[in-house]
Amino acid sequence: MSSLDLYLASTSPRRCELLTIAGLRFQLCAPGAEYLAGAGHEHASELGDPRALAQARARRKGLGATVLSPDIPILAVDTVVDLDGLELGKPRDREQAAAMLQQLAGRRHLVHTAHFVWLPASGHRVTQLASAEVACAEPDPAALQHYLDSQQWRGKAGSYGVQDDEQAFFRVVSGSFDTVVGLHIAAVRELLQTVRASS
């Protein structure tokens, strides 16, 4: 019996924290390439259905992961911000972050987190997409500048983290809070159970 529940193919400290809080035993592993060669990079806002983009990236991360044991499930995850059917990627710099936050201000948008779990030993693969709706208030200029100064927007889809303590203008309207943070624990538990049952 392995002491691990899963390998996490991710470099996200937020996903590590969510798994730790949930009591799941995991080990980090290097994820596969997130984007197809020449197709984009972490700061790109790719064209296409944001749901499908998230699922494709999660799958590539998981299938390309490097692990020690084929008998332990691999979890890979990807989160996208969906504004009216268009993806908002991760900001390159403060200027782009400010522009994205202005796009979101006073509006509602969706956040999709795709989960991909597979067991190399059996080849069994399962996926689940979790979505949530987020509302963004109209931050006053001082609040917006304060958040930009905090640097907490760096490396985050849509230029924000709903959990960030330096902002108070984003709130989850429907769906799970952890989906917006970047990993839905209920989905992970369900997928792990499905993979184990098939092995």
Active site residues: 78
Tokens of 191: 């997928």
For the chain, the farthest-separated pair of C-alpha atoms sits apart, in whole angstroms, at 55
d(CA 96, CA 100): 6
Concatenated DSSP letters for 158-198? GG--TT-TT--SEEEEES-HHHHHT--HHHHHHHHHHHHHH
Tokens of 57: 């990236």
Tokens of 146: 């304060």
